[in-house]
Amino acid sequence: MKAAVVVFPGSNCDTDCFHALFDVMKMPVKFVWHKEGTLPDVDLVVLPGGFSYGDYLRTGAIARFSPVMEAVRQHAESGRAVIGICNGFQILLEAGFLPGAMLRNKTLSFICTHVWLRTENNATIFTGKLNPKELLRIPIAHGEGNYYCDDKTFKRLEDSNQIVFRYASESGETTDEFNPNGSRDNIAGIINAKGNVLGMMPHPERASESMLDSVDGRKIWESLVG
């Protein structure tokens, strides 16, 4: 499996993603500057976290018009994998790859902490190595991760198993108490209907080595490698 990590002005998790895939997973990885109109021949595109365009206007609102996004769209349409992490997820929402939108965290504060996630769908290309309901300990770091969608969209997401991760307690309860940002129904990650585009607020690349306190995020990369 080969990967490309897209770099927008203001991305700041691009080298972390590169490191997790290249050094930890031993994958060939290329950086792709957002001005590029084409992608190298890769199986996986990573839209990394950060503050693309300073989060001006709305998170991800300007990055979605970067020239590379047309190539990312074609990559996704061909059925190959795209993962958007944190700001990458916000870009996927603004670009319409995934339904819904992000609001300010209910606390209005930037939250940087480890959270527990419950795997809601382990039958995706991103989660195949996870057990049903497997709990992952992965950090979040965002000010706008309060996932919103209307009732109709929410029903569609639920009915077609597109909710992949929910914020949970260490024992797997998905109550309000364990919802850090106010996301609808504790949603932390969703996938498109076709099953090849995943958006998630938590950072698996920051939880891929034991020296980083958790290796749970690595299972997402391992699932992709197959």
Residues designated catalytic: 86, 203, 205
In angstroms, what is the minimal distance from the CB of 104 to another protein?
5
In angstroms, what is the minimal distance from the CB of 191 to another protein?
18
106 interacts with another protein by CB under 8 A: yes
> Is 47 or 224 the residue whose CB approaches another protein more closely?
47
CB atoms within 10 A of CB 39: 18
In angstroms, what is the minimal distance from the CB of 51 to another protein?
17
Q: Which residues in 141-170 contact another protein (CB under 8 A)?
A: 146, 148-150
> Is 44 or 140 the residue whose CB approaches another protein more closely?
140
From candidates 24, 25, 103, 212, binder to another protein by CB under 8 A? 103
Environment class of 131 (CB within 10 Å of its CB; exposed 0-12, middle 13-18, buried 19+): exposed
105 interacts with another protein by CB under 8 A: yes
The two most distant CA atoms of the chain are separated, in Å, by 45
Contact yes or no for 46/5 (Cβ under 8 A): yes
> Is 24 or 103 the residue whose CB approaches another protein more closely?
103
Selected range binding another protein among 1-9, 12-20, 25-33, 105-113, rule: CB under 8 A: 105-113
**Residue 208 Cα distances to 31, 96, 158, 198, 202, angstroms:** 19, 29, 29, 18, 12
What are the residue ranges of helices labelled H in the chain? 14-19, 68-77, 87-94, 151-159, 218-225
Tokens in use for 166? 């929910």
185 interacts with another protein by CB under 8 A: no
**What is the separation of C-alpha 119 from the centre of its chain, rounded to a whole number of angstroms?**
14
Q: Which residues bind another protein (CB under 8 A)?
A: 57-58, 61-62, 65, 93-94, 99-101, 103-108, 146, 148-150, 182
